[in-house]
Structure formats: structure tokens, C-alpha cells
Amino acid sequence: MPKLSNNAQQTALIEKLKSGNLNGLYLFTGEEVFNKDFYISRFKNAFSDVPMAEFNILTLDGSELPEDTLIEAAESYPVMADKKLVIIKNSGIFKKASFDKEVWGEIFKNPPENTVIIFDEKEIDGRNALLKKFKEYGLFVDFEYLDSATMAEWIKGYFLKRNFSADRDAVSELMKRAGASMANVHSEMEKLIDYCAGNGKITFDDVCAIVTRSLNDRIFDMIDSITAGDRDKAFEILSDLKQLREEPVKIISVLGTNFTGILKSKILLNGGSHNLASELGVAPFIAKKYAAAANKASKEKLQSMLSLCLEADKSIKLGGTDGWIALETLMTVISRR
């Protein structure tokens, strides 16, 4: 697997796994779920030989269980074994203010001996008091989307392990079509391996033949056409999406999401931003697309386009307007601005 990022937290995580001394507390969060799940699986594998697994390997849905149950699991010692793994998913403990700060603070400071506790959290709040307390004693890792260079390295390494080579153009096109998610890229790599079985090589043409371009990628092409003033190209892409039976409401939603990203990029860049991807919480290559689009349109134009998307969405959901009529009307209006 690729490095998560060049930071001390990642280095510490990798060193822990290498050493086998896993005791302690971990908090995993971030957009790149595939990478996060991979490292959680590494911990599970390390506990695969533990006796009485039903008591010593626990995965708890924190969003469904009361706090007392989570505390009991975190405070308890291994049962007839020398180690125990507790994974608490989406508890909200590092986002909500309602959790018992005193009890959890003591657990963080003095976790049970020979017990590993992993908090797998979708959302956290950097201002949360328990998050600040956790960072004093546990290892916090934010699984961000990979940058383009790291993603390319991972793709080439994955193919190599499966006895395949892939040229630069093939890797680049795969990343463009599959998007930022490692899960999506992994799925498409498996399809390519099946398609190219016996060949040992994956080419640009193979990627074009097998990997379907994501909806977001197609819609961004449409946005590029709009901001470049190429109305015919924008409607050609829209026609393709209609033939593919994409839902109009979904297309409008993705348009709105991208216009929001471009508008935020415009504001941040005007303010002197030097790390757009991090500030937006998106993959670096998406931030690069946003920045390029932001340079082609004024702030006022982007605000107008976003407002029109919201109005079109509302007209479908509340006004009963036919989805494709609303979308085609939206495209007509924004392509003329």
C-alpha cells in the first residue's frame, strides 16, 4: 500500500505494525476509506490467532450502541488471552459534546494493558475537547486522498505484483476515468487484469475499452465546455448522459457540487491559498481541475451558476417539473452567461 502522506503519524503507524507492538489507542478518519480499511485489516490479521475471538476481537457500531456499552468494551481486559482488539466505528465521540469527558479522558490516559482500541470515525471536530485529549496519548491518522504521484505509484505497484506492466498513458487515463477513490481504482484494476489475462501488459487502449468514465468526470468536461464557451460540446455531453439514462436530479446535484468547489477555489485562490486540496478536502487532481475552471470564470458568474442549479433542483423536487426539461433549461441558461 502507498504511504498515507509524509507525516509523523503515518511513520508511527507503519513502525507500529512492523514491530508487532500494537498496544495503545488509535483514531482513524479521513476520506480515503479504502486505505483506512486496509490498515484496520492489518490490525485484525495481527489478532487472527487470539483465542476466544468473540470476546477478544470486537467491532462495535458506535452510532447504534449506548455510551455505557462502548465504555465497558474499552475498559475491559482480554478474556483468557494475552491481547484484545476493540474497534469502535462512528461513535461521534470526537464530534459531539455529550460524551463523558472524565471517563474517556481516563481511558485515554490509562488504557487497559494488552488492549488495542481503534476509533474508526467518519466525522470529527477539530475543536472537540476529547479529540485534543486523545492526541495527548493516542495515534491520530487522517487518511487523505492520495496525490497523483502516489496514486500512480500504487497503481503500477499493484499491477506489478499481479505480473502486469502498465505504461504511463494507461495509468494516467485510469486515474482520470476512475476518479480519486482507491476503491474505484482497485475495482477497475481488477477488471483490467481479467481483460488482459495472458497478455501481461495493460495499455491506454485497454483502459479506454474497459474503464467507464465516472459521472463526475463527464460532468466536469461539460463544465469545462461551458466555461470555455463551447455550448455545442456541453450539449453533446448532456445528450450522451441522457442516452446513458443518468438521473437528471443526480446530474444537477453533481453540477452544483462542482460549481461549489470551483467557487470556493476562486475565493481561496484570491486569498492567496497555497494548499487548495487540503483546504477543500478533495484529491489534489480535483483541486487542480477546480483551480483551472476558476481561472476561466468570474466569481459572480460562478455564484449565478450555482444559484441556477439550486433553483432547478427545487423546481423538480417541489414544483413537479420534468427532470430533463429542468436540466436542459438550466444548461441553456448557464451556457449563455
Radius of gyration of the chain (CA): 24
Instruction: Tell me: do 202 and 326 sit in the same domain.
Output: no
For 90-100, the pLDDT digits (tens) are: 999 999 989 99
Where do we find the cell 489507542?
25
The average pLDDT across 9-16 equals 85
Round to whole Å and give the CA distance between 84 and 203: 46
Where do we find the cell 487540503?
278
Round to whole Å and give the CA distance between 198 and 193: 9
In our burial notation (b when 16+ CB lie closer than 10 A, e otherwise), range 262-299 reads bbbbbebeeeebeebbeebebbbbbbebbbebbeebee
The average pLDDT across 220-245 equals 89
Residue 57 in domain: yes
Q: Is the pLDDT of residue 6 over 60?
A: no
Instruction: Tell me: do 198 and 222 sit in the same domain.
Output: no
Residue 2 in domain: no
Q: Are strands 24-29 and 139-142 parallel, antiparallel or unpaired?
A: parallel
Q: Is the pLDDT of residue 125 over 90?
A: yes
Which among 142, 157, 189 is the end of a domain? 142
Where do we find the cell 511513520?
11
Displacement of CA 42 from its chain's centroid (Å) = 20
Which CATH number goes with the domain that contains 190? 1.10.8.60
For 127-184, the pLDDT digits (tens) are: 999 999 999 999 999 988 888 888 999 999 999 999 999 999 999 999 988 888 899 9
The structure's pTM equals: 0.75
Which CATH number goes with the domain that contains 124? 3.40.50.300
Residue 3 in domain: no
pLDDT > 70: percent of the chain: 98
Where do we find the cell 433549461?
329
- Domain residues for the domain of 125 are 8-142
Instruction: Tell me: do 259 and 300 sit in the same domain.
Output: yes
Determine contact, residues 89/120, Cβ cutoff 8 Å. Answer: yes
Q: Is the pLDDT of residue 217 over 90?
A: no
Residue 142 Ramachandran class (φ > 0 left, ψ -120 to 50 alpha, else beta): beta
For the chain, the average pLDDT equals 90
Instruction: Tell me: do 227 and 269 sit in the same domain.
Output: yes
* Amino acid type, 268: L
Instruction: Tell me: do 29 and 92 sit in the same domain.
Output: yes
Residue 285 in domain: yes
Which among 142, 158, 185 is the end of a domain? 142
Pick the most confident of 2-6, 7-11, 47-51: 47-51
Instruction: Tell me: do 168 and 137 sit in the same domain.
Output: no
| DSSP code of residue 50 | -
Round to whole Å and give the CA distance between 151 and 77: 40
For 285-319, the pLDDT digits (tens) are: 888 889 999 998 899 989 999 999 999 999 998 87
Instruction: Tell me: do 205 and 225 sit in the same domain.
Output: no
3-state secondary structure 110-176: CCCCCEEEEEECCCCCCCCHHHHHHHHHCEEEECCCCCHHHHHHHHHHHHHHCCCEECHHHHHHHHH
Which CATH number goes with the domain that contains 273? 1.20.272.10
Round to whole Å and give the CA distance between 252 and 270: 27
Determine contact, residues 120/87, Cβ cutoff 8 Å. Answer: yes
Which among 114, 142, 170 is the end of a domain? 142
All three cell numbers of 102, joined, read: 472524565
Residue by residue, DSSP assigns 82-102 as: S-EEEEEES--TTT-S-S-HH
* Amino acid type, 291: A
Sheet containing 24-29: which strands, arranged edge to edge? 57-61, 84-89, 115-120, 24-29, 139-142
| Helices 168-178/182-195 angle, 10° precision | 130
User: What is the number of domains present in the chain?
Assistant: 3
Backbone φ and ψ for 27, nearest 5 degrees, come out as -125, 115
All three cell numbers of 321, joined, read: 417539473
